[in-house]
Amino acid sequence: MSLQQDLENRSGNQCELCSSKKKLFVYEVKPTIASNRSGVDGSLLACETCITQIDHPEITEANHWRCLNDSMWSEHSAVKVVAWRLLSRLRNEGWPKDLLDMMYLEDDDLRFAKESGDHLDDSERIIHRDVNGAILQAGDAVVLIKDLKVKGSSMVAKQGTAVRRILLDHENAKFIEGKIGPTQIVIITDYVKKMPEKE
């Protein structure tokens, strides 16, 4: 059975956030590497409207997310994590803060939820940008724009190498992590260019 079918069965073929039955897709909750979650445990079934607003905070419509009053009580951690992140993002609206105060997440789920930084004020948030100034997020793919020597080894990561599913350093805006082959390395953001997302 495919992941899509598993999630359709779990959700009753509706968006696990707003209950819409239109244009449903698998949404993988990022960053998957840091959380060690994949497949059904790290994904949810969501409609196009919800996914667009999750991925583009600047177009978030607060009233759409009143549906979280129900979905925040889901038994599935991927759904609860996304609900927590969205309520945190919207907390200045008033009502989301009340829901957050009622919500409970296990320690592992809370740590994972905080990976997105949605709970931080803009002044506290560390923004990672590539060489062109594009904002990088956990889970993005980047390309190296020059050859890089890997510290502590004889390996050279070649210009043009793709690094997928990056992790962000939450203390330094210039550092990201990613895998080149089997090796996890720290990369300076000045030497990467964000890859466009596939349609």
pLDDT value at 98 more than 70? yes
How confident is the model over 156-165, as pLDDT tens digits?
A: 889 999 998 8
- The dihedral sign for the CA sequence 142, 29, 16, 83: negative
CA–CA separation, 156 and 88 (whole Å): 41
CATH for 128-194, options being 2.30.30.40, 3.90.320.10, 3.40.50.800, 3.90.700.10: 2.30.30.40
Domain ranges of the chain: 3-114, 128-194
CA–CA separation, 127 and 161 (whole Å): 23
* Per-residue model confidence (pLDDT) at position 120: 60
Least confident of 41-45, 140-144, 195-199: 195-199
How confident is the model over 101-146, as pLDDT tens digits?
A: 999 999 888 888 887 766 666 555 678 889 998 888 888 899 999 9
Q: Determine contact, residues 99/86, Cβ cutoff 8 Å.
A: no
* Per-residue model confidence (pLDDT) at position 43: 93
Output the CA–CA distances (angstroms, integers) from residue 198 to 67, 108, 146, in the order listed.
29, 30, 23
* Per-residue model confidence (pLDDT) at position 171: 74
Output the CA–CA distances (angstroms, integers) from residue 129 to 53, 116, 168, in the order listed.
21, 15, 11
**CB-based contacts of 86: which residues, under 8 Å, 6+ apart?**
17, 54, 60, 65, 68, 96, 118
Which tokens hold the place of 77? 């951690």
